[in-house]
Chain A
C-alpha cells in the first residue's frame, strides 16, 4: 500500500471527504441560502471529474486488488459524476418550490455518489457490498426527504425495507461465494474457478443470491416490484437521480462480477439472465401501458430499460462477443442516463408545489404553451422508444446488434417487439402534449431549463453523431477485466 493506492481512489476520497466537510460547513450557511451548499457540492464534483480525467488511460490495481482502476471504471465514474452535477442542478429550484430545501440533500447526494464511484472500481466483493450500501443508505434518506408528506414517507419505508431485505440476499451470496472459492477478490475467484478448487454448490447458490441482490438494485423482474411505488412517492428530483444513478451503479457491479469474475460459470447464468432480460422487457413495457401517472409510467419504463441493458449479460456469455457486449451496455447506460435525466427534468418542470401535475393528462396543451419544452419531451419520448434520430435508437441498435452477434436472435426479437409495444405509451405523451387542448401550469427555472436543454441536445447530438461517444467507449472499455 502506498500513496499511489490513494491516488487510485482519489475521486472517491474527494467526493466522500467533501461531503463530510460540507456537513460541517452547512451548519454555518443560513437556511434561506442553501444554494451555496449546492454550489459547493458541484465544485466538489468538478474536482472529482478532474481527478478522473487526469488518470484517464491508466490501468492499475490498488489496495491489493480491492480497487481496480481501468477504462471501465473511469468511464462509469465520469458518467456518475455528470449525473450528479445534473441531479444537483435539477434539485435546487425543486426543493425551494416544495419548501424542503435543506443542505443535507446535497450532502446525502454526494455520499450516494461516492458509493457509485466506489462501485465502478470495485475489485473485491467486500468493496462491492460496501459500495452498494454506501449508494443505497443515503438514497433511503433522500426518498424520505419530503417527510411529513405521506407519499415520501411510504416510498422511503418501502425502499428501505425491501432494500435491506435484498442486501441480505446479496451479502449472504457473497459469503457463500467466499466460502466456495476461499477469496473475495474478483481476480482470485477467476483463478479459483479455473483451477476447480471450489465447492460448486456453494458457488452456485452464492452467485444466484448475488444476482437477486443486484437484480433488485437495477429493478429486474421479478425483483422490481418496489420501483413504481418508490419512484412515485419519492421527491421527483430524488427519483431522477435514483432512476439513473442507482441503476447504473447496479449494472456496474453486475457487469464486473458476472462478466469478469464468473465467466467460468457462464453456462449456468447465461440462460437465467436471458430469461430475466426477456421477462423484464416484457413486464416493464406491458405494465407501463395502463399507467396514468407520469412518474409511475416512467418507473415502469425504467424497469423495461433495465431489461434491455440486462441483455448484455447473456450476450457476454459468448466470449468473443463479451467486450462488445460490455461496450454496448455502457453505451446504453449513457443513452439511458441522458434521456431519462431529461425526461425527469420535464416532469420536474410540470410538477406543482403541492405535488400535483403528475398525471399524463396534465400535459395537455403543452405543445402550444411551451413549444420548446414539449419538443424536448417529445425528443426524450422518441429516444426512450428508440426512434431515430435520437441517441436511444443508437443505443438499442448497438445492443440488439451485439445480442444477434451472440446468436440470441429470439432475445433480440423480444427486444424489438417490446420496443414496439413501448411506442404505445411513449407516443401517447406526445399525442397528449400536441393534440389535446389544455392550460398546463409550467415552471420556468433557469437551472432546470438548462439541464433539459443540455440533455435534449445530447439526445439529439449523439443520435446523429454517436461517433464521439463510441470512440470514447472503444478506447476506454478495453477492459482490464479480460486479461
Chain B
C-alpha cells in the first residue's frame, strides 16, 4: 500500500502549484482555476487522512463534500463577477483593475 506521506506530498505539491498559479497568472479566470487546484489539494489530503487514520468515522468524507459544495458556490459567485466585469471592460486582467490603491 502506498504510504500516507506520499499523498501528503502530492497534495502539498498540488497546493503549491495552485499558489503559484494564483500569483503568476494575470487572468482572473486562471487565478480562479488555480484556487480550485488549492481546494482540490485539500480534498486529496482529507480523503487520504480519512482512509488511513479514521476509516470508521465519516467526518473526513463529509468534510470533502462540504469543500466541494463551498468550492462550487465560490465558482458560481466568481464566474458571475468575472463575466460582469468582462462585459464592460472587455478584459479580465487583474493588473488593469487597480483604480483603488495607496
**Residues of chain A having any CB pair with chain B under 8 Å:** 126, 129-130, 133, 137, 140-141, 144, 147-148, 150-151, 153-158, 160-161, 164-165, 167-168, 171-172, 174-176, 178-179, 182-185, 202, 228-229, 232-233
- B1-27 at interface with A (beta carbon < 8 Å): 8, 15, 18, 22
Q: Could you show 9 A-B contacts with beta carbons less than 8 Å apart?
A: A129-B66, A140-B81, A154-B100, A156-B81, A161-B78, A171-B67, A174-B63, A179-B8, A229-B100
Number of interface residues of B (CB under 8 A): 40
Distance A150 CA – B100 CA, assembled complex (angstroms): 10
The one of B49, B74, B78, B97 that contacts A175, using a Cβ cutoff of 8 Å: B49
Contacts A126-B62, A140-B77, A155-B100 given; does A179 touch B22 at CB 8 Å: no
Q: Is the CB of A161 within 8 A of B31?
A: yes
Q: Is the CB of A183 within 8 A of B59?
A: yes
- B46-89 at interface with A (beta carbon < 8 Å): 46, 48-49, 53-54, 59-60, 62-63, 66-67, 70, 73-74, 77-78, 81-82, 84-85, 88
Which residue on A lies nearest to B65, using beta carbons?
Answer: A126
Distance A140 CA – B85 CA, assembled complex (angstroms): 14
Q: Is the CB of A179 within 8 A of B53?
A: yes
Q: Is the CB of A165 within 8 A of B35?
A: yes
Q: How far is the CB of B6 from chain A (nearest CB, A)?
A: 13
Q: How far is the CB of B56 from chain A (nearest CB, A)?
A: 11
Beyond known contacts A141-B77, A168-B18, A175-B42: 11 more, CB 8 A cutoff: A129-B67, A130-B70, A156-B81, A157-B82, A161-B32, A172-B38, A172-B42, A179-B45, A182-B53, A228-B100, A229-B101
Q: Is the CB of A157 within 8 A of B94?
A: yes
Q: Which residues of A contact B67 (CB under 8 A)?
A: 129, 171
Q: Is the CB of B81 within 8 A of A171?
A: no
Q: Which residues of B contact A165 (CB under 8 A)?
A: 22, 35, 38
Q: Is the CB of B97 within 8 A of A157?
A: yes
Q: Which residues of B contact A157 (CB under 8 A)?
A: 28, 81-82, 85, 94, 97
**Residues of chain B having any CB pair with chain A under 8 Å:** 8, 15, 18, 22, 28, 31-32, 35, 38-39, 41-42, 45-46, 48-49, 53-54, 59-60, 62-63, 66-67, 70, 73-74, 77-78, 81-82, 84-85, 88, 94, 97-101
Distance A160 CA – B31 CA, assembled complex (angstroms): 11
Q: How far is the CB of A392 from chain B (nearest CB, A)?
A: 27
Q: Which residues of B contact A148 (CB under 8 A)?
A: 84, 88
Distance A184 CA – B82 CA, assembled complex (angstroms): 34
- Chain A CB within 10 Å, residue with most, of B32, B97, B101: B97
Which residue on B lies nearest to A161, using beta carbons?
Answer: B31
Distance A473 CA – B42 CA, assembled complex (angstroms): 38
Q: Which residues of A contact B32 (CB under 8 A)?
A: 161, 164
The one of B41, B54, B63, B84 that contacts A126, using a Cβ cutoff of 8 Å: B63
Q: Which residues of B contact A154 (CB under 8 A)?
A: 97-100
Q: Is the CB of A184 within 8 A of B59?
A: yes
Q: Is the CB of B100 within 8 A of A233?
A: yes
Q: How far is the CB of B77 from chain A (nearest CB, A)?
A: 5
Distance A6 CA – B31 CA, assembled complex (angstroms): 39
Which 8 residue pairs of A and B lie closest in terms of their CB atoms, listed nearest first? A168-B38, A179-B49, A175-B45, A229-B100, A133-B70, A164-B35, A182-B53, A171-B42
